[in-house]
Structure 1
Amino acid sequence: MKKITVIGTGYVGLVSGTCFAESGNQVICCDNDERKINNLLQGGVPIYEPGLKELIEKNVKKGTLCFTSNIKQAIREAEVIYIAVGTPMSPSGEADLSFVEQVAKTIGENVNSYKVIVTKSTVPVGTGRLIESIIKQHLREDYPFDIVSNPEFLREGAAIKETLNMERAVIGTESDMAYQIISELHQPFTSTILRVSLETAEIIKYAANAFLATKISFINDIANICERVGADVTKVSEGIGLDSRIGNKFLQAGIGFGGSCFPKDTAALVHISQKCGYDFKLIKAVMETNEGQRVKIVEKLKDALGTLNGKTISVLGLAFKPDTNDIRSSPALDIIPYLSVNGATVRAFDPIAVEETKKQLGYQCLYFKDIYETLENADACLILTDWLQVKHLDLNKVKELMRQPLIVDGRNIFDLETMQEFGFTYLSIGRQPINKGTIISKAI
C-alpha cells in the first residue's frame, strides 16, 4: 500500500485516484477549488462517468479515499504525488502549463521526505524536466525526489473499466526506484508495462491521440468520396477494418472528433513539431478535415431546407460522445449558435449534458431531457451524439411528431433501408441520401 496524493480532481485525477484507492492504496485527492472539494465531501461528483460515483462512495466508506483543499498538507503526507491538473490549449495551440508550474512550485515548497512526483496530465515534451527544475528552485531543504511521466489513455464513458483493466501502462523515468514504485502501483491493473525515458513517455500520449484522430479524419475523407461516387462508407469501414493491420476501431465516419483530448492534443503536437523545426503536414490536414465535417453537416441541413430562417431544428446530442457530460469541443457548441444566428429555433436534447451546455451557450436554444418533446413540430432533426436514446427512437412516433420527416444524421445511426421504409428524408455521412427532395411539410 502506498500513500498517494492526486492534485487535480478533474476527469483524469478523480478517475485515477479512485482506482488507485480501489486497488488498496491510501489516496488523497486534492484541489484548490473549494466548491469542488465540498461537493465531493458531500457525495457529489463533478463529472459523469459510468461507475465512478459508486466506486468513490465505496472507497470513501472504506477509508481508502478522501478529499481536501489543503494541498500543502496532502503533499507532505504523500509518498507518491500525481499531478493531474488541466493543460488547456492556449490561443497559439500550445498547451498552457501555468497550472502545472504552480503545482510544481507548491510541491517544492512542501517536500519533507523522498517523493515520487508523477505527471499524469498530458504535457509537451520537456515538461518533466521543467517540473524538476521548478521543484529544485523551491526546495526548502535538500530532500531527494524523482520525476516520472505516466500518461493516461482513458476513453470517457469507459474510464473506470479501462483503468482497472489497462491495455498498458507507460512509465517514463531515469530512476530505478521510482520505476519500481510506479510499476507496483500498476501491477493490479495490467501486466504490460513499458519503461521509457521522460521525453518518450511525454510524446507517446500525443502520438497515440494524433494517430487515432488521423484514423477518424481519414475515414471521414473517404466518406466524402463515397458520397460522390455512390459508395457506402460503412461497408468500406467494415471491409478495411477486417484487415488485422488496420483494425475496425476509430473508423466510424461522422461529424468528426471532439472532447478534451483529440482537438487539444493534435494542436499541441503541431506546436511541438514547429518548435523543433518540423512541418507536420499530416496532422494539420487531420485537423482541417475534422473542422470541415461540422460545416458539411450544416450544409446538408441547409440544402434540404432551403433556408434556416424561421425553421425549427431538433438537435439530438450535446455531449461530444455518449456516456459523458463532457461538451469540450463538442460539435453542438459550434452548430447550435450557427443555427440560431441564421434564424432557426433550436430545440436540443441530451440526457445528462444540458446543464454543462447552458454554461457555454446560455439560452441560444431550448433544452429538453425528453427526446420526443424535443422533436415536436420540428422541420428537421439533426443527430450529433449517438446516445442509446437516439438509437432506440420509435421512428413511427418521430414521424408523427415532426412537421416534416427530415433527419440529418452526423453519426450514421440508422440503416438506410429502414429509413426508406419509414418514409424519412434521411441524409447521413458517406452514404447515399434517402428520399432527398421529397419533403412534404404537415399543416399545423
Structure 2
Amino acid sequence: MKVSVIGIGHVGLVTAACMAEWGHDVIGFDNDPAKITSVENRQVPFHEPGLRDLVLTGVDAGRITVTGDPSVALDDRDVVFICVGTPKGKDGAPNLTYVQAAAAMVATHATKPTVVAEKSTVPVQTGERIKQALGLQAKSTGGSTQHAVVSNPEFLREGSAVQDTLFPDRVVVGADGEAPHRIMRELYQPLLDGHDCPYVATDVKTAELIKHASNAFLATKISFINAVARVCEMTGADVHTVADAMGHDARIGRAFLNAGLGYGGSCFPKDVEAFIHIAADLGYDFGLLRETERINREAKLWPVVQLRRLLWNIGDKEVAVLGLAFKPHTDDIREAPALEVIESLIEEGTQVRLHDPVALPQVADRWGDKVRLCETAEEAVRGAHAVVTCTEWPEYAEITAPQLAEWLEFPVVVDARNVWDPEGLVAVGIQLASVGRRMP
C-alpha cells in the first residue's frame, strides 16, 4: 500500500521504517529540514536502538523516501499517518495546532480520498475535530472531502520502539465504518500474518481513550510503588521485595513497579495531565490522576532531600549525577527527572558533574560552567563528594562497590534508581540512600 507519515520524529520515523519493512511504499514528511537531511544522509535524528538499520533497509530497497514538500508526500496515498507533536499547553490541555495543520495539509494536497490515521496521542473527540478541519480546508481550497478519519494509537516505549512496533501486544484501530477498517486491516496484514497479536477494532472515540487510559494507568502504577517506597523507608521494609511479591500476582504484574525517581519522557507527564484536563472538561474530577501527579513530583525531590541529610550543606560540594535521559537506551530528555535534580542542585550552589552514555549533546550549552559534562562515569564520580543515579543505564550497574568507595571523595551514594546492591555498598563503608529501603 502507499503510505505517508506526517512528522518523522520518535513515533513517525519508527512507523515509517516498520511500514516499509512490511513491504509498503512509504513517504515521510517533515517541515524540519534537519530531519529530512539526516535521513537523506543515512542517519536518524535521535537515538533509538535498531532504527537506523531498519531505515537504511527501507531506503536501500526504495520503500522509504523523505520530503519537505507536502504535494509530493500526499500524492496518491492510501493511508496518511499523523505523527506530529501534541505539546502541553499552559493550562495542561494538549496543544493540537500541529494536528490541525496536518489535517489541513491533507485536505489541500491529497490527490485522492485517503484514510487519515491519528497516531499522535490526542484527546478523545479529536477525530471529530480532524474531520471538521478536513472539511473546512477542503471547502477553502476545493480539495477532496471524502477522507476517512481513524484512530491508530501507538504503544511504543522509547528504547524499544522498533521491537514494540514489529512485535506489538495489540493493534488498536478505531474507525466509524467498515471501509476504513478494511483498509487498515490490509495495511497491518503482513504484521498479523507473522505475529500473534489481536487487532482491536473499535470506534474512533474508544480508540482515542484506550491510549490515554493505558498511559495513565502505567503512570499510576509507578506513583503507587513510589508511595509504597516511602512507607518502606520509614519501617525498614524492602520495596524491591514487596514489588517482586506483588508481581507474582497475575492480576498485578511486575512491570512498572520499580520505585525510583518517578516517570518522565514525552508521554506520561503530558498524557496524565491531558487526561485530567479532558475529564474536567467533561465534568469529571479525576482525583486519582491528580494524586498520581503529586506523588511523581515528590519522587523527583527525593535525591536532593537525601543529599542534604547525608552531606548537610551541599552548596559547597561536588555531586556526580549519573544519567540524564528519562530512561535507558534513549537520548530523549523531555521531562527527564534528572533535569529537576540538576536544577535543584544548581540552585543550592552545588557543582554538578554529569554523565550519560548518549544524551549529553542535548544539554551541551544548557548550564554553562555550572555543570561539568563527563565522558565517562568514572570521570564524573572520581573526587566527587557524592553520586546520584538518575537513569538506570546497564553500564552503571557494572560499577562495583569497591570502585565507588575508591573514586568518591566522601563515601555517599544516593541511588535514586536502585542500580546497586545496598548490602554490597554498605559493606565497603558507603553511606547509602536507596529508594524504598530503610534510611540509616
TM over 0.5: yes
Q: More displaced, 10-19 or 130-139?
A: 130-139
* Structure-1 residue corresponding to 2:301: 295
Distance in 1 between residues matched to 2:84 and 2:295, nearest whole Å: 30
1:250-309 Cα shifts (integer Å, max 9, x gaps): 011111000011000000000001100100000000000000011122101111000111
8 Å contact kept, 1:72–1:107: no
* Structure-2 residue corresponding to 1:47: 46
Residues 197 and 359 of structure 1: CA distance in aligned 2, closer, same or farther (over 3 Å): farther
Q: Does 1:387 align with 2:387?
A: no
Amino acid across the alignment from 2:102: V
Match of 2:335 among 329, 333, 337: 329
Measure how far apart 1:420 and its partner are: 2.0
Residues 220 and 168 of structure 1: CA distance in aligned 2, closer, same or farther (over 3 Å): same
1:380-419 maps to which residues of 2 (within 5 A)? Answer: 380-419=386-425
Q: Does 1:112 align with 2:111?
A: yes
8 Å contact kept, 1:333–1:361: no
Match of 2:168 among 166, 172, 197: 166
Distance in 2 between residues matched to 1:258 and 1:359, nearest whole Å: 22
Amino acid across the alignment from 1:196: T
Measure how far apart 1:395 and its partner are: 2.8
Aligned residues: 433
1:263-282 maps to which residues of 2 (within 5 A)? Answer: 263-282=269-288
Match of 1:155 among 154, 157, 179: 157
Gaps of 5+ in 1: 437-444
Distance in 2 between residues matched to 1:223 and 1:237, nearest whole Å: 10
Distance in 2 between residues matched to 1:373 and 1:295, nearest whole Å: 25
Distance in 1 between residues matched to 2:144 and 2:53, nearest whole Å: 42
1:176-325 maps to which residues of 2 (within 5 A)? Answer: 176-190=178-192, 191-325=197-331
Measure how far apart 1:77 and its partner are: 3.1
1:3-22 maps to which residues of 2 (within 5 A)? Answer: 3-22=2-21
Distance in 2 between residues matched to 1:46 and 1:361, nearest whole Å: 23
Distance in 1 between residues matched to 2:412 and 2:153, nearest whole Å: 44
1:116-155 maps to which residues of 2 (within 5 A)? Answer: 116-139=115-138, 140-155=142-157
* Structure-2 residue corresponding to 1:442: none
* Cα RMSD, aligned residues only: 1.2
8 Å contact kept, 2:135–2:145: no
8 Å contact kept, 2:109–2:143: no
Q: Secondary structure of 1:334's partner?
A: helix
* Structure-1 residue corresponding to 2:357: 351
TM-score (norm 1): 0.95
Distance in 2 between residues matched to 1:283 and 1:142, nearest whole Å: 41
Distance in 2 between residues matched to 1:338 and 1:248, nearest whole Å: 31
Amino acid across the alignment from 1:253: A
Amino acid across the alignment from 1:172: G
Q: More displaced, 185-194 or 286-295?
A: 185-194
Q: Does 1:426 align with 2:432?
A: yes
Amino acid across the alignment from 1:122: T
Residues 378 and 152 of structure 1: CA distance in aligned 2, closer, same or farther (over 3 Å): same
Amino acid across the alignment from 2:184: I
8 Å contact kept, 1:166–1:189: no
TM-score (norm 2): 0.96
Distance in 1 between residues matched to 2:431 and 2:12, nearest whole Å: 45
Gaps of 5+ in 2: none
Distance in 2 between residues matched to 1:141 and 1:57, nearest whole Å: 34
Q: More displaced, 187-196 or 309-318?
A: 187-196
Q: More displaced, 175-184 or 310-319?
A: 175-184
Distance in 1 between residues matched to 2:407 and 2:420, nearest whole Å: 18
8 Å contact kept, 1:255–1:294: yes
Amino acid across the alignment from 2:393: W
Q: More displaced, 35-44 or 306-315?
A: 35-44
Amino acid across the alignment from 1:417: E
Q: Secondary structure of 2:432's partner?
A: strand
Amino acid across the alignment from 2:44: V
